[in-house]
Copies of this chain bind each other. A is one copy, B any other.
Amino acid sequence: MFSRTLEYALRSAVYLGAMYGKPMTAQQIADATAVPLSYLPKVLQQLVRANLVVGTRGLHGGYVLCRKPKEVSILDVVNAIEPVCRVDQCPLHLPDHNGQLCPLHRRIDDMMKHAQEAFQKTTLGEILAEPGLPDSWKPEVQPTPAATPAPTP
């Protein structure tokens, strides 16, 4: 019931949340999330346009989440991809139900509202806090520069 693109966007967003701060290349994201590498840029582009993600080019570039994972809701991602279409007018705008939504669409809209609220309440941070993430998604332990025998000549 979700479009595939939305699925892709959600996976990417969660992954960027896991790696928060470090720019991730499309290549890396694709590897981690199993989204087709050639399609991924289009998906990420939508997140960029929605100001959820910034993409910087050039060496050491990549995609980074704009806000902290706790501050990004699922709804933000959903809205970036396919705005939850609230039913604001009955598709069959007969003269009969003047202004009001007919019961059918009132119900549908209600369900949309519920879904929307559920989306809004859940943040990337919450999801990341739960156990069960693939190990490879854990932000790799950043070796402190001092501790590593960094061969910087």
Within 8 A of B (CB), among A59-103: 74, 82, 84-85, 91-92, 94, 96-97, 100-103
Choice from B33, B92, B118, B130 contacting A92 with Cβ under 8 Å: B33
CB-contacts of A99-135 with B (<8 A): 100-104, 106-108, 111-112, 114-115, 118-119, 122, 127-128, 130-135
| A144 in the interface (beta carbon within 8 A) | no
Q: Nearest B residue to A4 by beta-carbon distance?
A: B91
Q: Mark A1-12, 1 if CB is under 8 A from B, else 0.
A: 110000100110
Task: Tell me the complex Cα distance, A130–B131, Å.
Answer: 44
CB contact between A128 and one of B14, B103, B112 (< 8 Å): that residue: B103
CB pairs A–B below 8 angstroms (13 shown): A1-B115, A7-B91, A11-B92, A34-B92, A74-B107, A92-B134, A96-B133, A100-B132, A102-B134, A103-B128, A103-B131, A111-B115, A111-B118
Give the interface of A toward B (CB within 8 A).
1-2, 7, 10-11, 14, 33-34, 74, 82, 84-85, 91-92, 94, 96-97, 100-104, 106-108, 111-112, 114-115, 118-119, 122, 127-128, 130-136
